[in-house]
Every structure is written in C-alpha cells, then in structure tokens.
Structure 1
Amino acid sequence: MAVINLTPGQSANIALSGRFLVARRVSGTVFCDDPATQLPEFSLRQGDNIDFSGMSVRSVRVTNKGTIAAQIDVESSPVRIISSDGGAVTVTGGELQRIVEPINVTATATVEDGNMTSLSQSAVDDALDVDIPAGQKVQVIGASVDKRRTVILQNISATETECRVGGPNVAAGRGALFTGSKAAPASLEFDTVGAVHVFNNSAQAAKISVMWGKR
C-alpha cells in the first residue's frame, strides 16, 4: 500500500481487503475510526497489527490529530504479519524504521567472525631512565599530539621506593601508588596523551623506566 502523507487535521480513507491492518510506519499523532460502523476512535501507532475479525468494518479513516505533518504506511492483510519488513533494523512502536546506509566510525579495534580484536600500536618509543630525588616530583613523559598513546612505567629503583603517578599536582597521598625496585619491579600501563608526573615519596632516590606505544 502506498505511503499516505497527512497535513494537520487532514483525513484519508483506507479500504480493508483482509481482517488485519498492519501499521508498517506511523509518524506523528494519527487516530483511526470508521464513521460508517461507529467504530470508536483509537490511536494508530507504528507496529500495530489490528484484528477486525467479527466486525463489519470494510474501511477505516485515519486522521492527523497533531500539529505537524504525519506519514503512515499501512497494509491490509488476510493473515497476521509478525515478521519485520526486511529492513536492516526495524523498531516496533518507535520512529526508527530501518538503517540502510553504512555508518562511518573511528575505532581502535576490528571485528572478525564476531570477535573484537584491538588494533596494535603502530610505533614504539622509549626514553632514558628518569632519576627522581627523595621527596621530589618529575615529569617522566610529556604531552603528545598522537591520537592514542599507551604509556608503560616501571619502578626499577636500587631499593624499594614508594612513588605516586599522576598529573602535575601529584604528591604524597595523591596519585596512583607505584612501589617497587630493580629486584622486584612494579609496572604501570595506561592510555594517555597527556604529560605524566611521578612523585618520590621515599627517603631514597627512585629510578623510573619509560616506554610507550602510539598510533
């Protein structure tokens, strides 16, 4: 059946060739009735599958009761229709009918055979170990213009040191705890394109190794 466009207040008659009236698409505020049989007025919504069996209704009137244009696509059928209309996506009872065109997205993963796999970094870089005096804060890696960067830090101090990792305000009692030594390195990996600072909260010097992957 053809799509029917209704301006506010406009009505149209729909002949019924079967006992069911299927609302393929309904946008706007649409009501349905039948003056000939005194069928009471009721709201017509997308996804409705109306059964007129046992009634003498041969046609129905649809009316746009809203303040904006309405569009309906209905079909009269001798059998109940439950399946979708063949679109890629169909939402019953809502405004979204289907999605046909591809959607452009930016992602850092691929999907193959239903499994998602993260894309590997395209380059790896590193820097000289960073020495941090006791009670001092040092920037171990600066900000980057890369779209994505994974930073890996290791605490490889000569003796166990307690450090804190964070932004420019990192200090004692503030930031991620990062305790380790060369004999038992502590590692920390996270994604950031911002500058990273480390505060040495110990009485002895700390040494931090730095590497990163970027895309």
Structure 2
Amino acid sequence: MPVITIPAGETRPFANTKRFLNVLDLSGPTLIKSPYDEWEQTIKQGWTLDLQGVNQFVIENPSNAALTVEIESSPFPIQGGAAEGVEITNTPTIKRIEEAIQVNAQATVENGKMTIRSGAGVVAHGDIEVQPLQRVKVLSADAASLGRSVTIANVSASLTQLRLGADNTVSEQKGLPLYGSSDAPASFEVDTLGELYVYNASNNVAHVSVLEVTR
C-alpha cells in the first residue's frame, strides 16, 4: 500500500480483507479505531495487529501536524519499516519490491482437479466516471460464469470517498467506504456474480477502475 499522508486532526477509513495489519512506517502518534467508535487502539511503527473479523477500520491523526503512514494487510505477520524493506517472520527474507511484477495465472485447482485458465476470462473495464453525490452501477450480474472475482479501485484525480454496495440502495451512509485517489488507490476484491454499485460521497468527480476474472 502506498505511503499515505493524513492532515492534523483528520481520519481516513479503510476496508480490511486480510487477517493482519502491519504498520510498516509511521511518523508520529496514531490511533486505529472502529468507524462507529466501538473500540480504539494506539499503534506504533513495527506493530502487527490481528484484525480477524474486522471488515472496516479508521486511522486517526490526533496530533497538530501532518502524519505519514504506511500499512499493509496480509494473511501473515510482516516485520520491517519503509526504510528497511519487508521481512516475513518465517524464513526466507523478502526485500521490498521496487518494480512491478507481472503474474500470469495459467491454471486453477478446485476439488483436487486442475483447470487451465484462458486469458479471455480476464476483463479490464475502462475507468467509470461517477459525478458528486451520484450512484452508478459499475458491474452487471453474470449468470453465465461459474464464478467471478472482481477488484474495484478508487483511482480519482483527488482524494474521494466512495461507497461500494451490491444494490442501488448504496448511499453516503450505506456501503463499504473506499477513500483514495490515483496517487493512493483504495481497492477491494470480492467474489460475486451479482451487481455492484458505487456512490460518490464527495464533492469531486470520482473515477473507478474495475477488473473481473471469470471461470
């Protein structure tokens, strides 16, 4: 996840899809809390938090100066800071990856059987524009496929808060928050054959990137 700057006294919402939250780099005192103020915890650089069962959280900057933070969700604990590289607690050690790596999946294994995958199952849609305070269907239902994995990313020109939902009732107060921009994208991956909707809860035009992989 890119390094994120949080202005003094402000918060940033995040979606969580993995068990562990690793605090790789942190420039000052920081709070992680429930979006509904059910719990909160002070965090420090190098800490790893077990967020099993937590789907959303908020990071708050309680100080009088801007805060920079780098966090990484993962299925396993990670140790290390931004200047040190990333190290998995179990050997071997993995250094920070500076260049993008392209991975082409050739097959899947389900119920002990291998199925060759075709590149035709991967669809990258053009960016979808969502006007301020408007709701848009970003993906239609798929009744023909056996399964579908969808990645939704907020790649707006400026920091914009979106709400993601499975029907047209998604609103400013309903749906998974995706707060991000093209410089610090917020993304969410889900397995679904149903429709997906996005609501733009900001006053800026938003852009949404959608990638689907079907089988």
Which TM-score tier does this pair reach, normalised by the shorter chain? 0.3 to 0.5
TM norm structure 2: 0.45
Give 1 or 2 for the bigger CA radius of gyration.
1
TM norm structure 1: 0.45
